[in-house]
Each structure stands twice: as structure tokens, then as C-alpha cells.
Structure 1
Amino acid sequence: MTERPFPEADKTYWRAQLPMLLLFLVLPSVIELVLTAADHGWLATQRLRTTAYQNGAFWTGLLGNWRPNYPGQPVTMFLTYSFLHAGLWHLTGNMMALIVLMQMTAGALRGWRLSAVYVVSAVGGALGFALLGAALNPMVGASGALFGLAGAWRWLEWRQIEGAGRRALTVLRDIVIMVALNALMWLAQDRALAWEAHLGGFAAGVAAMAALPRRRGDQ
């Protein structure tokens, strides 16, 4: 494996990613804090979370014969679901993962490239859930987009491996690890894990990273 020339995430990097952080980290955090406050009766109505899910979560039934709450909901839900979470712990885990994955892909994903992979992966996660998930259950959370960033990171690593055989073995190993991790999480969360979104997001992230033009200095 050749040495990667990608730079580390420094202060300049984080300043450049401020718009992305405001949109995909701060906004979901504010939304969840408001919903949690409403859950406890500290703000608005305790039905606020239900209302938010009804209008922003991903509902597979809306791709069929369900009636949407507003025009365009069957389209907008492919992205709005990623701004909603199931509670503070769900939010915290996802936002911590976002920071880590941004650090791991800092050299190759900056500015519009990072946002593009994130959005494509969120949509891919929704597609995965639509194709494989249970029609009656809503889906929320940024994990589809996060698995997409993980897929982009793995693509960067795969691209550095010399030899088709070694590369194929590494890809197979990573897929096995991802499947095993999701299986453990699925059991630990009493089968409430949207593994379908993880799979769709990962595949979309790999595809998006492969389709992006290489930056100067990439190998």
C-alpha cells in the first residue's frame, strides 16, 4: 500500500466546513433539543415529535397509496428524515460519528464534495430502506448518510491498495465487517435498527466517491 498524501483535518479545514457543520450537525442538534424539550413538556406540545415524524420522517407507504401531508412530501422525505432523530442518545452517537468520519476523509472531501457525498448517501439510505424496509415503520436519523461517508472513506483506502487480489480481499473483509456490525447493532437494539438505510447509504457513498473527479494530489 502506498502512503497517502492526504493532509490532516486542521483549523483551516474546520473553518472551511462551517456551512456543512451548520446544516448537518447544528441543525439536527437544535431540532432534537427542541423535540426533547417538548417531550418533557418544557416547550410547545408533547405531540411535537409525532408531528415532526409525520411530516419529516421517511415513510415507505408514501411511495405507494398513502396520502401525503403536503405536496412533495414523498420526495422531500428522502432527505428530511436525516435531520430527525429518535432521542438525544441517537443524535449524540450520529454527530460524534460525523466528526470522526469528517476527520478520516478530510484530505479528499472538502467543501461541496463533502456535502455532495453526504446528500447522495442520505438519499441512498432512504432508497435502501424503501426497497428493503418494513412499509409501516417510519425511519429517522443521519446514519444512512454517515455510512455513506464511511463508504467514501473505504473507497479511498481501496484505491490505494496495489494488486487486484489484495484489493478484492480488502473489499470483501470490509463488507463482512459491515454486515457483522449491523447484525450486532440490530440484535442489541431489539431489531429496531434501520440496517437497510445503512446498506443503501454505504453503497451510495462508495458510488459517489468513485464518481467524483479526483483532486490534485490524490492517488
Structure 2
Amino acid sequence: MSSEHYTPAVNPLPPVVVALVVFIMGIELAFTLGSRGIVGGPSAVGWRLEALQSYAFSPDIFHWIIENGRWPFEHLIRFVTYPFVSGSFTQAIFVSVFVLAMGKMVAEVFGGIQMLIIFVLSGVGGALVYALLLNPQYPLVGGFPPVYGLIGAFTWLLWRKLSLVGENQSRAFSLIAVLMGIQLVFGLLFGGTSDWVADLGGFATGFGLSFFLSPGGWTRIVGRIRRD
């Protein structure tokens, strides 16, 4: 009998992408089921609020840290934890969909660990931009800033590809322009907060990190420095 290798029609998702989505949706399902009294008993109704108070990124707390020169771990960890605490089930679903789509493409090119670094540091970058450029009244919650970091890495891939074939590199930024335009329209029609600033900060962080974390990126940078 001749053996044939089976090639799946769709490439399997990188494990790190699956782990991120399971973590995000697992937390959200606990909040949702708890609020309906299905799990956790009476105290579970307040799980989301307690998590927001403990793990959301608070610009007020950040400015307090800067002013007092004190860096308690329970507040610094908010830079990393806020993307995993969604404000609603809908937000968690949208974040997960983007992580599946963008995370898969970035991880397949950059590698799983590099993709995770971009996700985490883009969340940090988005929070810093949010706190430093604005004086926001609302805490930052949900995974859109790191998701926009993945979009930034994907944009870098397009930007790099267009440069190699001699095409107009500005075309690579079409996706972020469309997404920002949609946010602007929704903000004008329905009102909203200034979270888009954090999203844009996450995008810029992801794009910038791609110069270092892309395959051979660090080698290219070192080579360019030596030539200069």
C-alpha cells in the first residue's frame, strides 16, 4: 500500500494563539456565568467588577506612581493584566476573533514567542500612550491595544513585502486607516471614550517591535549600524 501524507486544507493554529484565546474567553465565561448565578454562588455576581478594580489599567494610579516614585507590583502588573479583563462578552469575542486571525499570521512568520512578546508589549505601549497623552477619566480594559499591536506587526509584513517588490509602501497602512475610520464614525454617532488612543499606541508599538522581532530583524539592524 502506498502511503500518502495528508495535508490539511487549513493550517493548524499556533499553540500560543490558541492559549491566548482560551485564556481570554475562559476568564470572560467565568464572569458571564457568574453574573447569571450559574457558577460561583452569590459572590460571583461581582467577579467582573472586582477584577476591573484589581487588574484594569488606571491612569490615575499610574500618575500617582510617577508623582510618588513608588512602584508597587500590584499596580505595575495592571500593564499586563488589563487586556485579559474584558468589559463585556462582546468585547471578549471581538478580541478573540482578531487574535485568531492576526495572531495566526504573525506567529507563523515571526514565531510563537515573538508573537506573544508583541502582544504583551503592545498592551504596555498602548497603556503608556493612553496615560501620557491624555488625562482620561476611565480605566483601560480589554485586549484591543495588544490586538492592534498584532495588526501593527501584520502591517509591517505588508510594508516590508511592498518594499521588496518596489510597490508603494503606504498601501500597507490601509487596514489601520479603515479601522481607525470605523472607530471615528462610531464615536461620532454613538459617543465613546478615547480608548482609540491606546489602540493607536498599541499599533505603533507592534509595528516598531517588528523591526527587531521579525526573522533576521536584529541582524539587519546591527548590520546597518555597522555600515553607518
TM-score, normalised with respect to structure 1: 0.80
The alignment covers a number of residue pairs equal to 202
- Equivalent-residue separation in structure 1 for 2:121 and 2:133 (angstroms): 18
Q: Which runs of 4+ in 1 moved over 6 A?
A: none
Matched, 1:52 2:51: yes
**How does 1:31-42 map onto structure 2 within 5 Å?**
31-42=27-38
Stretches of structure 2 that go unaligned for 5 or more consecutive residues are 1-8, 218-228
Partner of 1:18: 15
**Which residue, 26, 30, 50 being the options, matches 2:26?**
30
Matched, 1:155 2:156: yes
Between Structure 1 and Structure 2, which shows a larger proportion of helix residues?
2
CA RMSD in angstroms, aligned pairs only = 2.9
* Bigger Rg over Cα: 2
Question: Residue type of the partner of 1:132?
Answer: L
- Equivalent-residue separation in structure 1 for 2:196 and 2:94 (angstroms): 16
TM-score, normalised with respect to structure 2: 0.77
Percent same amino acid at aligned positions?
25
Offset of 1:178 from its aligned partner? 4.0
Is this contact kept in 2: 1:122–1:142, CA < 8 A? yes
Q: Report SS of the residue matched to 2:48.
A: helix
Closer, same or farther: CA 146–185 of 1 in aligned 2, 3 Å: farther
Is this contact kept in 1: 2:136–2:194, CA < 8 A? no
- Equivalent-residue separation in structure 1 for 2:136 and 2:72 (angstroms): 20
Question: Residue type of the partner of 2:49?
Answer: T
Deviations 1:175-194 (A, max 9, x none): 54343132124345531461
Offset of 1:200 from its aligned partner? 0.7
Offset of 1:158 from its aligned partner? 0.6
Closer, same or farther: CA 176–101 of 1 in aligned 2, 3 Å: closer
Is this contact kept in 2: 1:121–1:148, CA < 8 A? yes
